[in-house]
Amino acid sequence: DADVTQTPRNRITKTGKRIMLECSQTKGHDRMYWYRQDPGLGLRLIYYSFDVKDINKGEISDGYSVSRQAQAKFSLSLESAIPNQTALYFCATSDPSPTGGTDTQYFGPGTRLTVL
């Protein structure tokens, strides 16, 4: 979805390096998410944020941190990258339905990260 962009699209780094992945959205959504995708494991939630002042850990937050700089920007950092963080990383956004029902998530194109 072109409304959700991620930079970089590909990154190769070495063990111990600090890496930041960035996500920007023009959908005007309050909620943003970071997932990682590993073959055969589906998508697992790393962190999520319901607004600029609200950040929550997901199921696999160890080794990661996030920053919600603005409504439109949500960054994921690996303070000291390790090889098992090699994965495809996705950012997503959503907004609660006005009727209080479900909110559909919209995904960015992904960042392929390789840690050597």
Partner 1 sequence: AQSVAQPEDQVNVAEGNPLTVKCTYSVSGNPYLFWYVQYPNRGLQFLLKYITGDNLVKGSYGFEAEFNKSQTSFHLKKPSALVSDSALYFCAVRDRGSTLGRLYFGRGTQLTVWP
**Interface with partner 1, residue 114, by CB under 8 A:** no
* DSSP bridge partners of 66: 76
Residue 102 found at the interface with partner 1 (CB under 8 A): yes
Minimum CB separation from partner 1 for residue 107, in Å? 4
> Rule CB under 8 A: is residue 87 a binding residue for partner 1?
no
- Contact positions with partner 1 (CB under 8 A) in 5-44: 31, 33, 40-44
Angle at 68 between CA 33 and CA 41, to 5 degrees: 25
Give 54's DSSP letter: E
Among 68, 69, 67, 86, smallest CA distance to 77 is for 67
Amino acid making up residue 56 = N
Residues near partner 1, by CB under 8 A: 1, 4, 31, 33, 40-45, 48, 50, 56, 58, 90, 92, 94, 96, 101-110
